[in-house]
Amino acid sequence: MDSFSLSQFGAFDLALMLVILLLPLLSFVILIFVGRKLPRQGDWLATMNLSICLGLALLLFAKMLVHEEAPELAFRSAAVAGVDAAGNGVIEDYNPIWVDVIGFVVKPGILFDNLTAIMLVVVTLISTLVHFFSIGYMHGDPRYSRYFAYLGLFTFSMIGLILSDNLLLLYVFWELVGVSSFLLIGFWFEKPSAASACVKAFITNRVGDFGFFIGIAILFTSFGVLGYHELFSALSADPTAGGTLSAGLLTAAGVLLFMGAVGKSAQMPLHIWLPDAMEGPTPVSALIHAATMVAAGVYLVGRLFVVFTPEALLVIALIGALTAIFAAFLGIVMHDIKKVLAYSTISQLGYMIAAIGVGAVTAGLFHLMTHAFFKALLFLGSGSVIYGMHHHQDMREMGGLRKKMPITFACMFIATLAISGVPLLSGFLSKDAILAGALFQWMVPGSGGPAWLYALPFVLLLMAAGVTSFYMFRLIFLTFFGETKSEHADHAHESPKVMTVPLIVLAVLAIGSGGLGLTSHLGIGTHWFNDHVAAPTLDVNEPNGAFLNTRSTELVLTEDEEHAEHSSHTIAMICSLLVAGTGIFLACCFYLWRKLSAAKVAAVLAPVHRTLENKYYFDNLFVGVLSKKVIVGGLNRFLWWFDATIIDGIVNLTARITRVLAAIQGLFDKIVVDGLVNLVGLVTIVWGFFAQRLQTGRIQTYLMMFLIGFVGLAAAFFLIG
């Protein structure tokens, strides 16, 4: 094993990654078993573990920045290191076999490339900040230690998802993420709304995962491999997989894989779980809905970009764009501050998905990162507001909080500027890149469908940009400006340092994370993100690969296309500035200067308003389909039972051992002593009136008779003859 060096990736880095992966799991295991007995219920342990993870992730990230060649597939599940000629450290000397069924072998592996490095930093950073913030926010909760345990489990699953190098492992962690988010959203399961929200999230995600799994199955049956690397090379070597895969089937596989992302990343029509998931603790909302879980879908689509055919990409782009615009509209009519942010998240996720759909993979992933920072900031900021307002979330009760909570206000304002796409902030850069990508797709349409369909993403996304800045400024104005509108607002106070410091850190990142990229707009140097995360490509020479998407097969542009690409950036930037400005201006008119009345507009547009308030009736539809009474009700009770029986059972394990011993003794009494008594009684009964009296109504008697009858038959069989 070589030692750590900045210039090369080696086995030492693998060890680091394993540490990053396992530390959160460790804190989960410790906290779930003995968390209550630790000083401060173990919050320091979880936070410390995560901080170490963050440090290590930053180390790897720094190394990635220094490293000139982007390490592609740096590690393959190895304990012994080796470095190939390009310095990329492909290590395959030792592969523990994980699954081996009739020659089909799955090996657990770690895939580390620049995207992984960036995602690692995002996840660990947000998670660490959420840990810190939660120390304040969850203070005094009866299940404080279990909360941190769940956070650990969630972080572990998320890191595993990022690090895994094959679809099966990804799927396993994908489901783990689902489970832990279920636990976190339903953390306050005494609240019926929280209990049903977590069930809803879980079920909705299952719908998507169903498709996801079939998609994996199609790819696997065609190519027989599950690793990304093997899959991509098999795809480029023979896109038809020896004739078993046709364009239609690959499109289907792509759309099915995308279904998983639709569920996890809350795209229409499976977005319904996300707003409800706001019932969980607010830091959880920041963790799950800003940076990590919902990003998993985007990450998946980005990772598997080359698998999608042009048709599948068009579907992805359209769903993403539609989600972006529809969810943005919903943000306008919400009153709950977290609901606004929830729809805003859905809308922004739509942006990312659409970006990948139009082929701007880098832009989409870039937005994923910048969004993670400013959305986490917004959520934690809203958490701070809610905390200050004594857990009241309705914006109509707020107002005038600017002076009472200056730090929170400043941080949230920065985030709002970022999400609205105001220049010089991170959101501007990423959003702009996406719009440019969409515009380019309009100018140079792909082969997946009629050309006019390719125009839609740009138009919709541009509209969404305007709406976004409108509702975000509405939120700021309603919350922080004007008169205080309730007693709680009067008595609001700034949150403690443990909560504000994470806000400040995130605010710096919301400004700066894209900042390095500014240089490219000014024409100096290049964009750091672009430099390090390139769109995945395939090297296909065969003619029968024609159905793969050209974005990934040929990156050489014609002269016209190159021209289009250049102009698209300029046009997109101007357009986005215009619409964002309009949105902000309108928000000022409505909510700051009160020149226009929102109520009047709502009255004029009554049917529209009603549709929006009912969230396009999606929930009504799904509640019907999911049959609230049967499934949701049953699962709720199951959750109760699960938490009360299983989890508590594990926790109280030590206390139970004595009871188990007692129970064994009781069993002896029951079986031998009672059994004898029963047997004597039985004989009398049988001879009394055997036909009727045995039907005692007690199940265990019936089963005892089942057993006795069985033994009797066996005895008869062996005794006869």
Partner 1 sequence: MDGIPIHFYLGVSALLFFLGLVTILARRNLVYILLGVELILNAASLNFVTFSRYGGNLDGQIVSIFVIILAAAEAAVALAIVLNIYNVFKNVDVDTPSELKN
Partner 2 sequence: MFQAILATSPMLSDIQAFLPEIYLTVGLLLVVIIDLLPGMTDRRIPALLSLVGLAFAARVLWQQMSGEPRIEAFGGLFVVDRFALFFKLFTTIAVTVVILYSLAWKRLESRMGEYYLVLMSAVLGIFVLVSSQHLLMVYIGLELLSIPSYILTGYFKNQRKSSEASLKYVIYGSVASGTMLYGFSLLYGLTGTLRLDEIGPALAQAFSESGNPEATALAFLMVLAGFGYKIAAVPFHYWLPDVYQGAPIPITTFLAVASKAAGFGVLLRYMYLVYGAPGALATLSDVDVVAWVDKLSLLIGIVAAVTMTLGNLAALRQKNVVRLLAYSSIAHAGYLLMGVAVIGSSGLEAVLFYLVAYLIMTLGAFGMVIYLSNSVKSEEIEDFRGAGWKAPIVCGAFVMCLVSLVGLPPTAGFVGKWMLFRGVIESGMLWLAVVAGLNSAISLYYYFRVAKALFLEKSEKEYTLKRSPVMAAIIIGLSVLVVYYGLRFGGLIDLVQQANLFAAVQ
Residue 365 beta carbon to partner 2: minimum distance, rounded to whole angstroms: 39
Which neighbouring-strand residues pair with 70?
none
Round to whole Å and give the CA distance between 132 and 126. Answer: 10
Partner from partner 2, partner 1, none binding residue 602, C-beta < 5-8 Å depending on class: none
Round to whole Å and give the CA distance between 547 and 217. Answer: 20
Given phi > 0 = left and psi -120 to 50 = alpha, else beta, which region is 391? left
Contact (CB, 8 A) for 376 and 291: yes
Interacting positions 680-709 with partner 2 (CB under 8 A): 690-692, 694-695, 697, 699, 701-703, 705-706, 708-709
Round to whole Å and give the CA distance between 122 and 124. Answer: 6
Contact (CB, 8 A) for 14 and 78: yes
Residue 704 beta carbon to partner 2: minimum distance, rounded to whole angstroms: 9
Ordered alpha helix ranges (H), 277-360? 282-284, 293-303, 310-333, 337-357
Task: Specify the residue, 96 or 709, whose C-beta has the smaller distance to partner 2.
Answer: 709
Structure-token pair, residue 705 = 């008779």
Residue 585 beta carbon to partner 2: minimum distance, rounded to whole angstroms: 43
Interacting positions 85-124 with partner 2 (CB under 8 A): none
Give me the amino acid identity at 472. M
Structure-token pair, residue 660 = 């188990």
Ordered alpha helix ranges (H), 7-89? 11-34, 43-66
Residue 322 beta carbon to partner 2: minimum distance, rounded to whole angstroms: 25
Q: Within 13 Å of residue 457, how many CA atoms lie on the same side as its CB? A: 33
Nearest to 202 by CA among 671, 552, 634: 634
Is the CA virtual torsion 511, 515, 517, 521 positive or negative? positive
Structure-token pair, residue 360 = 């701007």
Residues contacting partner 2: total by CB under 8 A: 27
Residue 544 beta carbon to partner 1: minimum distance, rounded to whole angstroms: 34
Residues 6+ positions from 141 with CB-CB distance below 8 Å: 147
Round to whole Å and give the CA distance between 376 and 130. Answer: 9
Task: Specify the residue, 243 or 624, whose C-beta has the smaller distance to partner 2.
Answer: 624
Partner from partner 1, partner 2, none binding residue 94, C-beta < 5-8 Å depending on class: none
Task: Specify the residue, 593 or 706, whose C-beta has the smaller distance to partner 2.
Answer: 706
243 touching partner 2, by CB under 8 A: no
Partner from partner 2, partner 1, none binding residue 720, C-beta < 5-8 Å depending on class: partner 2
Residue 720 beta carbon to partner 2: minimum distance, rounded to whole angstroms: 5
Stretch that binds partner 2, among 280-288, 407-415, 553-561, 713-721 (CB under 8 A): 713-721
Residue 144 beta carbon to partner 1: minimum distance, rounded to whole angstroms: 28
Task: Specify the residue, 422 or 705, whose C-beta has the smaller distance to partner 2.
Answer: 705
Q: What is the CA radius of gyration of the chain?
A: 29
Nearest to 207 by CA among 217, 196, 218, 199: 199
Chain residues binding partner 1 by CB under 8 A are: 101-102, 634, 637-638, 641, 645, 667, 670-671, 692-693, 695-700, 703-704, 707
Is the CA virtual torsion 689, 695, 700, 702 positive or negative? positive
Task: Specify the residue, 654 or 692, whose C-beta has the smaller distance to partner 1.
Answer: 692
Round to whole Å and give the CA distance between 76 and 229. Answer: 10
Partner from partner 1, partner 2, none binding residue 667, C-beta < 5-8 Å depending on class: partner 1
Interacting positions 12-51 with partner 2 (CB under 8 A): none
Partner from partner 2, partner 1, none binding residue 717, C-beta < 5-8 Å depending on class: partner 2
Ordered alpha helix ranges (H), 358-496? 361-388, 401-404, 406-420, 426-443, 451-480, 487-490
Round to whole Å and give the CA distance between 113 and 148. Answer: 29
Interior angle at CA 415, CA 414 and CA 420, nearest 5:
100
679 touching partner 2, by CB under 8 A: no
Task: Specify the residue, 592 or 631, whose C-beta has the smaller distance to partner 1.
Answer: 631
Task: Specify the residue, 493 or 637, whose C-beta has the smaller distance to partner 1.
Answer: 637
Partner from partner 1, partner 2, none binding residue 690, C-beta < 5-8 Å depending on class: partner 2
Partner from partner 2, partner 1, none binding residue 596, C-beta < 5-8 Å depending on class: none
Residue 153 beta carbon to partner 1: minimum distance, rounded to whole angstroms: 22
The correct pick among 303, 627, 664, 672 for binding partner 2 (CB under 8 A) is 627
The correct pick among 625, 644, 664, 673 for binding partner 2 (CB under 8 A) is 625
Partner from partner 2, partner 1, none binding residue 658, C-beta < 5-8 Å depending on class: none
Tell me, what DSSP letter sits at residue 35? G
716 touching partner 2, by CB under 8 A: yes
Partner from partner 1, partner 2, none binding residue 670, C-beta < 5-8 Å depending on class: partner 1
Residue 671 beta carbon to partner 1: minimum distance, rounded to whole angstroms: 6
Q: What mask, x for binding partner 2 by CB under 8 A, covers residues 460 to 479?
A: --------------------
Give contact residues for partner 2 (rule: CB under 8 A): 624-625, 627, 630, 690-692, 694-695, 697, 699, 701-703, 705-706, 708-710, 712-714, 716-718, 720-721
